[in-house]
Every structure is written in structure tokens, then in C-alpha cells.
């Protein structure tokens, strides 16, 4: 797992705990399914795993834009919003690219939350396909 920390402050105990629980659930899904499936399959299974673990989440959460006082629904959706404080974006790509990281930082800013996880289920070992991003520039 790689961590990208914009602004330099560290995660608090709750943020470390919840990200560990989400990553644990994702690893369980990856162990059962392996790489190579569609993102939608991993989303379904990860949601089931989060339910089984008693973790609150919402799926496909609308992410409106506010531009100069105008609220715009441009069709953006968060894959998962966990405990109303952690954005989880799922990928099935060869590798997480810088644009995926930039997109997550933008989502964190737009939603006004600090912690985001990008989870790439196409990694051979899932831990190699996880990026934890922290936005300290609110």
C-alpha cells in the first residue's frame, strides 16, 4: 500500500482503523475472486463484505460540483462512501495512474473529507494495488 499525504499531517486513530477495516474487507474479496473481473463485480462483493463486517457505507454517491455559487450535477459518482468520511474508488486497471490519484484528491476536496482509498483489484497481490490518500488542504 502506498500513502500520498497532501499537506503533511498524519491520520488519527479512527482514520487508521477504518482504512484498515476497508482494506481487510477488500483483501478478503480479492482472495476469493482474484484479479481479472469487472469493477462492478468487485463492488458488489466488497459491499457484501462491508455489510458482513457491520461497516456503514453508501454506493454510487452523487458528487455535485459547486461552481461560483451554482450547484451542478455533472454525473460524477463516488463508488463508495464509508462511514460518511472515507471515499473508496475501485479500479480494475493495469496500474493506478497519476490521474487516478489526482481525481481522488479532487473528490476529497469536493466532498470535504480527508481520507480516500483507491483499490485496484487487477493487482496480483491486492496490497500492491492500494493507495491511501489524505487531503489536508480543505
SS (H, E, C) 41-62: HHHHHHHHHHHHCCCCEEEEEE
**What is the reported pLDDT for 136?**
79
Q: Which of 97, 94, 83, 91 is nearest to 42 (CA)?
A: 91
Closest among 133, 130, 132 to 121, alpha carbons compared: 130
The pLDDT of residue 108 is: 94
Q: According to the model, what pLDDT value does residue 2 have?
A: 52
Determine the Cα–Cα distance for residues 103 and 40; give it in Å rounded to an integer.
Answer: 19
Q: Which tens digits make up the pLDDT trace of 113-123?
A: 999 999 999 99
Q: What is the pLDDT of residue 4?
A: 52
**pTM recorded for the entire structure:** 0.89
Containing domain of residue 105, as a range?
2-135
Domain count, the chain: 1
Predicted confidence at residue 3, as pLDDT, reads 53
Q: Do residues 112 and 103 make contact, with C-beta atoms less than 8 angstroms apart? A: no
Parts of the chain with a pLDDT under 70: 1-9, 137-138
Amino acid at each position: 500500500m502506498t500513502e500520498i499525504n497532501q499537506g503533511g499531517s498524519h491520520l488519527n486513530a479512527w482514520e487508521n482503523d477504518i482504512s484498515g477495516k476497508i482494506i481487510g474487507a477488500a483483501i478478503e474479496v480479492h482472495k476469493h475472486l482474484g484479479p481479472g473481473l469487472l469493477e462492478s463485480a468487485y463492488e458488489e462483493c466488497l459491499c457484501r463484505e462491508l455489510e458482513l463486517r457491520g461497516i456503514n457505507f453508501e454506493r454510487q454517491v452523487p458528487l455535485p460540483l459547486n461552481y461560483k455559487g451554482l450547484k451542478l450535477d455533472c454525473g460524477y459518482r463516488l463508488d463508495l462512501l464509508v462511514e460518511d468520511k472515507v471515499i473508496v474508488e475501485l479500479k480494475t486497471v493495469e496500474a493506478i495512474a497519476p490521474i487516478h490519484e489526482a481525481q481522488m484528491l479532487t473528490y476529497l476536496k469536493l466532498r470535504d473529507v480527508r481520507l480516500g482509498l483507491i483499490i485496484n483489484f487487477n493487482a496480483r497481490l491486492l496490497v500492491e494495488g492500494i493507495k491511501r490518500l489524505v487531503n489536508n488542504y480543505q
